[in-house]
Amino acid sequence: MQEFEEFLISHLPKAESFHPHYEKALQKMLIAGGKRFRPALVLGVVRAYEPLLVKNAYHAAYAIELLHTYSLIHDDLPAMDDADLRRGNETLHVSYDEVTAVLVGDALNTYAFEVLSEAPFSDRVRVKLIHTLAQNGGVTGMVLGQAIDCHFENQILELEQIKLLHVNKTAKLIAASLQMGAIICTDKKLEKELYDFGIDLGLLFQIQDDILDVTQSTQEAGKTTQNDEEKNSFVTILGFEKAMSEADELADELSKKMVNFDERLYNELSPMLTKYINRHKEN
């Protein structure tokens, strides 16, 4: 991942002009770091099956990180979660202004597809990667989840509705990360297997985030916490103990599925996934 980080830094979006801070704002949340969980999933799959393509896959991993970062910038806006801290840094609307945050999010979204369009793969693979990222990050994916989340603030949803919300808002982009690794490896059967696994993994990831929102301080999390009281989070709807139980059950299911990965995939992904699958138990 250190080499990927160097790739990211060397491919930061640039826009020279007389604007006093636009280019700096474009780069700020990317430089700030983060877990890089979604890029690690792409690269882990490629390392397992096509290690010679790992450097090529940096483009796909970076595209996902760009799209994810744009979503965080918009998610933190006053019109949405109104958060002041992200990745241990002031959010962009705090450092600059709302207009800058909106436009930087827009720019990183489109730059993700520019990066993918220049990825060193065949046209067929490039188009499939672009389609997968757009489908899971856009109209019927992450943006749909965000729309449901914001519209139904202060309204109690049913558990299945909450799961649908978070499958779209969080899980689909995680599932797409694994699927894009399989696309690069040109393995259609693996695409579906990993996408389905990724949906469950993403749902667990969201339940864990909801748990950590009430158990971690803002300083520990590096982002604004205690901020979900009006949201349809798993903790606010189920209560802390039931949310923990849901996380434990899903973590056990994912651990069992992971054991059934073939040896190459298991060896690449299990160290990272075991850590994330069990992260809610560490607090």
130 contacts 138 by C-beta, under 8 angstroms: no
**Residue found under tokens 């059967």:** 189
Domains of the chain by residue range? 2-282
Q: Which of 188, 78, 69 is nearest to 132 (CA)?
A: 188
Name the 3-class secondary structure at 83. Answer: coil
Greater confidence (230 vs 112) lies with 112
Contact at 8 Å (CB) between 135 and 116? no
| DSSP label of 171 | I
CA distance 116 to 101: 23
| Per-residue model confidence (pLDDT) at position 224 | 73
Phi, psi (deg, nearest 5) at residue 113: -80, -30
Residue pLDDT, tens place only, 33-77: 999 999 999 999 999 999 999 999 999 999 999 999 999 999 999
The pLDDT score that the predictor gives to residue 199 is: 98
> With pLDDT > 70 as the criterion, what percentage of the chain qualifies?
97
Tell me the CATH number of domain 2-282, given options 3.40.980.10, 1.25.40.10, 3.40.50.1820, 1.10.600.10: 1.10.600.10
pLDDT digits (tens, 9 = 90+) for 75-91: 999 999 999 999 999 99
- Whether 216 has a pLDDT exceeding 90, the answer reads no
H-helix or E-strand spanning residue 227? none
Segment among 15-19, 86-90, 214-218 with least mean pLDDT:
214-218
Cα–Cα distances (Å) from 193 to 40, 255, 282, in that order, read 18, 15, 29
The model's pTM: 0.94
- Give 125-171 pLDDT, tens digit per residue: 999 999 999 999 999 999 999 999 999 988 989 999 999 999 999 99
- Pairwise CA distance, residues 201 & 194, whole Å: 10
pLDDT for position 228: 64
- Averaged confidence pLDDT in the chain: 94
Distance of CA 134 to the CA centre of its chain: 14
- What residues contact 91, with CB distance under 8 A and at least 6 apart? 73, 76, 83, 84, 85, 101
Instruction: Give the confidence band of 218 by pLDDT, cuts at 50, 70, 90.
Output: confident
Task: Dump pLDDT digits (tens) for 224-280.
Answer: 776 666 678 899 889 999 999 999 999 999 999 999 999 999 999 999 999 999 888
Quote the pLDDT of residue 205.
Answer: 95
Residue appearing with tokens 């009006």: 230
Output the CA–CA distances (angstroms, integers) from residue 107 to 26, 66, 204, 209, in the order listed: 8, 9, 30, 27
Tens digit of pLDDT for each residue in 171-214?
999 999 999 999 999 999 999 999 999 999 999 999 999 999 88
Measured N-to-C along each axis, helices 54-75 and 172-184 cross at an angle, to the nearest 10 degrees, of: 160
